[in-house]
Amino acid sequence: MRAQTGLPITPHAYLLEGSGDGRQGGGAGTNSSDTAQVTDPDLAPATSAPIHSDVVRDPRLAVSLPGLDLKNPVMTASGTCWYGQGIARDYDLDRLGAIVLKSTTLKPRAGNPTPRLFHSESGWMNCNGLHNVGVEREVGEKIPWLAGNYPDLPVVASVAGSSVDEYEQVVARLAQSDHVAAVELNVSCPNVKKGGATLGTDPQTVEELTRRCKAASRVPVYVKLTPNITSIVPIAQAAERGGADGLTMINTLTGLAIDPFTRRPLLSNVTGGVSGPAVKPVALRLIHEVRAVSDIPIIGVGGIRSAEDVLEFLMAGADAVQVGSAALDDPLALPRIIADLPVMMDRYGISSLAYLRDVR
C-alpha cells in the first residue's frame, strides 16, 4: 500500500518502477540470471512511434568531451529513461546532448520487489535493485534500436556488476557494438567478493576496476561516483589513476522513508537512493571539491530542474550535466531545460559554454 505521506507516483515513474518481481536483496549479485523476469518500461505503452522533428543546433551550447561531441551539455541520467524507447514517444531524442542508458549487468536482473519508488516534496527515493535487461539484449536489441532511429545521438552505456570481473566482461561485450560512444561505470554496487561493501567506496578497487575496464573498452570510460562516503576526493583520484577519461558526479544519496501508518519502511529494501532537488547542493559541493584537485572532465548530476541549475553545475566545475528525476516529474523536462539554456546564458552574460569553462 502506498504511504499516505507521499506524493503520487507520476505515470512515467510508474513505468520505471515495473512489477518488481525480483527477490529481496538489492545487491548486484542477487536475482540475476538468464531467466530473470524483467519488466520492460520501454515497451509500455507501445502505441505511438518515436517522434522526429527539426532540431536547431545552437553552436554556443556545444561541448566536446572524450568520446562525446555534444550539441548541448544535457544528457539523460542512467536509470531514469531506461533504454530510450519510452521517452522517444514524448520528444525527439536528437534534442539531447547524449542518452545515458540504464545500468546493465552481465545477466538480466528483475530487481527488488515493489514498492521500490517513493515520491516526496524533496524528490524521489528508489531501490530498483539494478532492474535491467542484461548486456546481451542491450547490445543485440536496445542499442541497435537507438542507432537505427537516432544515428547521430551519442549513446553512453552504463555498466554495473557485483565484481570487477563482471564489469570487465560487460565492458568487453559493449566493445563489440559500433554505436557506443562512451561507457559509464556505476560503481555504487555492492561487491559480493568483499562482503557487500559498495565497490565505489574503496580507492584500490576503484583504481583496479577503472584500469581493467579501460583496457577492455574501445571507447572513453567515465566513472560515476557515489556520494555515500566520508571523502570523495580519494575515490576521484583513484579513478583518475586507473585511467578514467572523466567522472560523473553524483549517484543517489542513501536515505530512509517510513510510513507512519504501518510504522514500516516505505521501500522494500528498507533504504533507497535519494534523488531530485534535495541532493543538488550536495552534488555541487562534491563537484567543487573534486574540481579543485582534478582536471579531467566532470559530468554533473543531482537535482537539476532548470537551465539555471545547469549553469550552476558548470560554474561549480562540471563540463556537462545529466538530468534524471526531473523527467519523472515532467517527461518534457530535458527538452525544456535545453531550450531555456540560450535564454539564461543571455541573461547572465555567458557567450558560450566553452567560455564559461575557460573563466572558472
Ligand X SMILES: Cc1cc2nc3c(=O)[nH]c(=O)nc-3n(C[C@H](O)[C@H](O)[C@H](O)COP(=O)(O)O)c2cc1C
Catalytic residues: 189
Whose Cβ is closer to ligand X: residue 252's or residue 269's? 252
- By CB atoms closer than 10 A (0-12, 13-18, 19+), residue 151 is exposed
Kindly tell me which residue out of 95, 102, 179, 212 binds ligand X, with binding defined by CB under 6 A: 102
The residue whose Cβ lies closest to ligand X is 79
Q: How far is CA 158 from the centre of its chain?
A: 7
Q: How far is CA 319 from the centre of its chain?
A: 16
- Per-position b or e across 336-357, b if 16+ CB within 10 A of its CB: bbbeebeebbeeeebeebeebe
Kindly tell me which residue out of 186, 191, 217, 294 binds ligand X, with binding defined by CB under 6 A: 186
Stretch 222-251 residues interacting with ligand X (CB under 6 A) = 224, 251
- By CB atoms closer than 10 A (0-12, 13-18, 19+), residue 254 is middle
Whose Cβ is closer to ligand X: residue 275's or residue 294's? 275
- Per CB under 6 A, does 103 bind ligand X? yes
Supply angle C-alpha 258, 261, 265, rounded to 5: 25
The site map against ligand X for 145-184 (x = CB under 6 A) is: -------------x--------------------------
Kindly tell me which residue out of 9, 15, 16, 133 binds ligand X, with binding defined by CB under 6 A: 16
The site map against ligand X for 80-99 (x = CB under 6 A) is: x-------------------
Whose Cβ is closer to ligand X: residue 306's or residue 352's? 306
The site map against ligand X for 31-60 (x = CB under 6 A) is: ------------------------------
Q: How far apart are CA 159 and CA 334, in angstroms?
A: 23
- Per CB under 6 A, does 198 bind ligand X? no
- Per-position b or e across 84-119, b if 16+ CB within 10 A of its CB: bbbbbebbbbbbbbbbbbbbbbbbbbbbbbbbbbbb
Hey, what's the cell of 2?
502506498
Whose Cβ is closer to ligand X: residue 177's or residue 252's? 252
Hey, what's the cell of 24?
529481496
- Per CB under 6 A, does 279 bind ligand X? yes
Identity at 153, one-letter amino acid code: L
Its sign, for the CA torsion 168, 174, 178, 180, is negative
Hey, what's the cell of 96?
539531447
Kindly tell me which residue out of 112, 128, 198, 201 binds ligand X, with binding defined by CB under 6 A: 128
- Cis, peptide link before residue 277, omega less than 30° from 0: no
- Per CB under 6 A, does 303 bind ligand X? yes
Q: How far apart are CA 317 and CA 283, in angstroms?
A: 11
From 67-75, 163-171, 238-246, 271-279, span contacting ligand X (CB under 6 A): 271-279
- Per CB under 6 A, does 252 bind ligand X? yes
- Per CB under 6 A, does 323 bind ligand X? yes
- Per CB under 6 A, does 276 bind ligand X? yes
Smallest distance, Å, CB 35 to ligand X? Answer: 21
- Per CB under 6 A, does 111 bind ligand X? no
Q: How far is CA 358 from the centre of its chain?
A: 26
From 25-33, 73-81, 231-239, 346-354, span contacting ligand X (CB under 6 A): 73-81
Whose Cβ is closer to ligand X: residue 120's or residue 352's? 120
- Footprint of ligand X (CB under 6 A): 16, 77-80, 102-103, 124, 126, 128, 158, 186, 224, 251-252, 275-276, 279, 301-304, 323-326
